[in-house]
Amino acid sequence: MSWFILIASGMLEAVWAAALSASDGFKRWRPIVVFAVSLIISMAGLAWAMREIPTGTAYAVWVGIGATLTVVWGFITKQERPTIARVLLLVLLVGSVVGLKAVS
């Protein structure tokens, strides 16, 4: 159950990062609300998961999921250009996250 919560929290990290960008420097209220709610739930989920998962592993998985999904969202919305190097590095990041889970 802790792994499920951790993965969901990592996904919410990508949501709050995208909402933060969409807030245009905290000028738009809807993205600010999405940012605040998803940030609180994401952090609470991380804290919950860390009760059973070692801190370093939990944080690395949480950040890895959030960073990967944030970059993928950038590709989808055309805010970032998907180059071969970026895609390969994301594959390496995902592989590292899976590896951390496998050895935990």
Residue 28 falls in which region: left (phi positive, over 0), alpha (psi -120 to 50) or beta: beta
Per-residue confidence (pLDDT) for residue 101, from 0 to 100? 77
pTM for the predicted model, two decimal places:
0.87
Q: What are phi and psi of 57, to 5 degrees?
A: -65, -45
Stronger pLDDT, 10 or 104, i.e. the higher one:
10
Tokens of 95: 């592989």
In this prediction, residue 47 has a pLDDT band, given cuts at 50, 70 and 90, of very high
User: Is a pLDDT exceeding 80 seen at residue 104?
Assistant: no
Q: How many CA atoms lie within 13 A of 50 on its CB side?
A: 16
Tokens of 54: 């070692």
Supply the mean pLDDT for the chain: 94
